[in-house]
Amino acid sequence: MPELKLLTDQQKHFYRENGYIKLDNVLSRQEIDEILETYDKLFQRKQRENEKGLEAAWGGDEVKKLSEGIKASVKSIHNLQMHNAVFTRLITHPKLLDALEDIMDTPDILLHHTKAHIKPPEKGAPFPMHQDYHYFPYKKHTMLAVFIHLDDTTPENGGLAVYPGSHKLGPLEDYGLKEDKTGKYHYVDPQKYPLTGATPVHAKKGEIVIFSYLLLHGSFLNLSTKTRRMFLLQVRAADDEPTRDTHKSPCQDLVLRGKNVSRDANIANRHEH
């Protein structure tokens, strides 16, 4: 039986050159509706339990400047697959994994983590341009982000923005650490890579943007009357290894497709006996 591919050669070329690709043929309307219903109920429950614990807006002078004097906010929940099987089905969706296999050029794909962000209307916090690399660096740089839009998204309601082709620059200086000594926030030099100079990524509800963790990306302040909801999945190739022991998450290294023959998997197996 011939191998099926979700991406065209032109799309794969676009990804290699630009570091990201937008897809609109992965999730059905029924699947999106089920995800949204479950997503909203989860956030409602978590906000009743501990709304302050959901706050995920970054600190620092650069974020204050981008927030235009507003006390901006982003609500976040991590590890959604630990809350509901709807999200487990999402991260193991066959068409999504077909797309990732096309892009990563490997049949062996592991979970790193998941999270969700809600940017509330009229005060949805911005994110300066950054690389995800600084949060969880890997040797071969196979880490990808899968950004699933759960609302129609534009710059006006806090949408994503990227510097196309910036993944080819490799890891850049971690400018954010100079400003925030906790090391919690990581972003690149805002004078060299301002959010205003980035390319906005417009997306419809259900569309998915897949990008390299080396791609410079950020997002705008949401001053609109519309909420922006998103779900983020991050994955890596099974033969890649971290250069720093950081960012541990439940289900990390779960095999989403193929197999895991890495040293870490062998160590985990030995610990079980």
Residue 165 is classified by DSSP as: T
Residue 199, helix vs strand vs coil: strand
pLDDT for residue 267 is more than 80? no
Class of domain 9-271: mainly beta
170-210 residue pLDDT tens: 999 998 877 776 667 899 999 999 999 999 999 999 999 99
Q: pLDDT (tens digit, 9 = 90+) per residue, 143-178?
A: 999 999 999 999 999 999 999 999 999 999 998 877
With H, G, I as helix, E, B as strand and everything else as coil, classify residue 55: strand
The yes-or-no verdict on residue 12 having pLDDT over 90 is: yes
3-class state of residue 96 by DSSP: helix
- What pLDDT sits at residue 51? 78
- Single-letter amino acid, residue 44: Q
pLDDT tens for each residue of 13-36: 999 999 999 999 999 999 999 999
Distance CA 123, CA 198 (A): 21
Give the pair of three-digit tokens for residue 187: 């972003």
> Tens digits of per-residue pLDDT, 250-265?
899 999 999 998 756 6
- The residue-averaged pLDDT of 234-243 equals 96
CB atoms within 10 A of CB 140: 10
Q: How far is CA 163 from the centre of its chain?
A: 16
Share of the chain above pLDDT 90, in %: 84
Q: What is the DSSP letter of 251?
A: T
The mean pLDDT value of the chain amounts to 92
Specify the pLDDT at position 48: 93
pLDDT of residue 1: 37
pLDDT at 247: 84
Q: In this predicted structure, what is the pLDDT of residue 142?
A: 98
**pLDDT, tens digit, 9 for 90 and up, residues 22-76:** 999 999 999 999 999 999 999 999 999 987 889 999 998 899 999 999 999 999 9
Torsion over CA: 252, 163, 99, 34 (sign): positive
CA–CA dist 172, 132 (Å, integer):
11
The structure tokens listed for 163 are 């510097």
Between the alpha carbon of residue 41 and those of residues 44, 53, 61, 62, 90, the distances in Å are 5, 17, 34, 33, 17
The answer, yes or no, to whether residue 219 has pLDDT greater than 90, is: yes
pLDDT grade for 273, boundaries at 50, 70 and 90: very low
Q: What is the pLDDT of residue 31?
A: 98
